[in-house]
Amino acid sequence: MTRQGAYKESDDMLIDEPKLPQQGQIAALPNEFNPSYLKIYYSKLFPHADLYRWMSYGNDGKHPACDSSYLGRREFSYTLDNDIFVRYNTFNSATELENSIKDKCPLKIDIGPIYNLNPAHRNAYAGDNVLTPVERELIFDIDMSDYDDVRYCCSGADVCLNCWPLMTVAVKVIDTSLRDDFGFRHILWVYSGRRGVHCWVCDRKARRLTNEQRAAVADYFRVYKGNENNYKKVSLMGQVLHPFLARSYTEVLKEYFETKLLTSQNLLSSEERYEKILEMIPDQSIASELRGKWQESRRSSSAKEDINIIRWEQLKQLQLKQLLQKHKCVEEIVFTYTYPRLDMEVSKHMNHLLKAPFCVHPKTGMPVCVPINPNNCEEFDPTTVPTLIQPLEELNREGLRSDVEGEWNKTSLANAIKLFRSSFLQPLLKICKEEMESSYNAKLQQSKNLLSW
Ligand SMILES: [Zn+2]
């Protein structure tokens, strides 16, 4: 084969032919972003067919009950070079979707809702608000930069293994609740590429929630009542914790706070840091008793035991003496430092766009947005996520061949794509087929009953 044949250049996007070393040559690729890498990624590695199968939800034309307009009413938006944002791209088939992505080579692909009509044709219809979202996955966006007041290792979009447990906590708490409290089954968690996680709830009943119902679900997870001037961000009202919060606390938050974050973030190691926690103790005399102890222990501390743990135990001792019980103060501190912080607006509105899985993050070392298995999310390591370069180099080592379907299999993307299929896509498509079949049979039965009259 020739290199020419493997890469179709589009008319409107002139990109230099990808400059990978010749077959057999092993050379490290330059690490900075290069548009030609993206072109190879989309032509060789991106799982187009999986994206199509997911977005079709079984409407693939193979069953008489398929909705042939389904995929074509879904909005995809592209971010192109120079921050050009192109909304309302729509596709009627797997081939259209794949060709468009390969052609335009978007830096980012966002997925929007399904509308009542093809949004690309929105101008052909008269009147305001003709274009209405009718279906959309229930989505959650958890961004590490929202935790900057409770982590000291990094800030903004940076993450490391010391603060990443905050995301693990979020996945565990939200995933358990979505399954146990709401009964959802088809939930996809994705590393957002640099600074957090996205969650896609894809059950049919989740996709059909109204904005009001979405807001109610988002509110269910809300425990933050404070504002920026109020460090105490959590208010656990009432004598008894809501069962969801109580379970989150005993099964996840407490353990992560005490065994990881307390020491990895040195939450009580310095005066500046422990003062933030003392501020959350409503009884001033208790707070000053602790302050006195901690100022003392700074002078006499032995290096044997971690200072954060010693101080936390001292604080908890006061709880045991019933002194802090009334205000659920210990729990409020733990919630403040660990409880998931959701971007509520993303979850509340059907028409919010969210980055597609398997996109790359071109500006930041280029990690691929790979799925996270909620069942062992504590093993997920954001520092070893495949980057755009890595699978390309692996592919390069194997030799570029255009005749093999699924070349990702030889690369570090393999586990991510296999996980996407086995834990999410296959069970989802199975239930979509079953639902399609049963609604078809119900309709058949209905028309038979009508005929028999
Ligand atoms: Zn960090």
Cβ neighbours of 303 (radius 10 Å): 6
How large a percentage of the chain has pLDDT more than 70? 83
pLDDT of residue 233: 61
Instruction: Tell me, yes or no, whether 182 lies in a domain.
Output: yes
Report the C-alpha gap between 364 and 248 in whole angstroms.
33
Boundary (domain end) residue, out of 317, 338, 359: 338
Give this prediction's pTM. 0.88
Which long-range CB contacts under 8 A does 257-260 form with residues at least 24 apart?
Answer: 257/334, 257/337, 257/338, 258/309, 258/312, 260/165
pLDDT of residue 365: 58
Domain for residue 157, yes or no?
Answer: yes
Which is more confidently placed, 326 or 68?
A: 68
Residue-number span of the structural domain to which 148 is assigned: 3-219+342-441
Residue 250 lies in a domain: yes
Specify the higher pLDDT residue, 158 or 123.
Answer: 158
- Could you tell me if 349 and 334 lie in one domain? no
pLDDT, tens only, 109-121: 999 999 999 998 8
Residue 105 and residue 362: Cα distance in Å, rounded? 12
Cα torsion angle, 305, 306, 310, 313, sign:
negative
Of 277, 311, 338, the last residue of a domain is 338
Distance of CA 273 from the midpoint of ligand 1 (Å): 16
Q: Which band of pLDDT confidence, cut at 50, 70 and 90, is reported for residue 241?
A: confident
Judgement on whether residues 131 and 254 belong to the same structural domain of the protein: no
78/383 Cα distance (integer angstroms): 26
Distance between first and last Cα of the chain:
66
Question: 431-452: per-residue pLDDT in tens?
Answer: 999 999 999 999 899 888 887 7
- pLDDT at residue 323 above 80? no
Residue 372 parent element (H or E)? strand 371-372
From ligand 1's centre to the CA of 164, what distance in Å?
A: 7
Q: Which residues are catalytic?
A: 75, 141, 143
CA of 298 relative to ligand 1 center, distance in Å: 25
Domain annotation covers residue 304: yes
Q: How far is the CA of 339 from the centre of ligand 1 (A)?
A: 17
Tell whether 162 is covered by a domain.
Answer: yes
| Rounded distance from Cα 153 to ligand 1 centre (Å) | 4
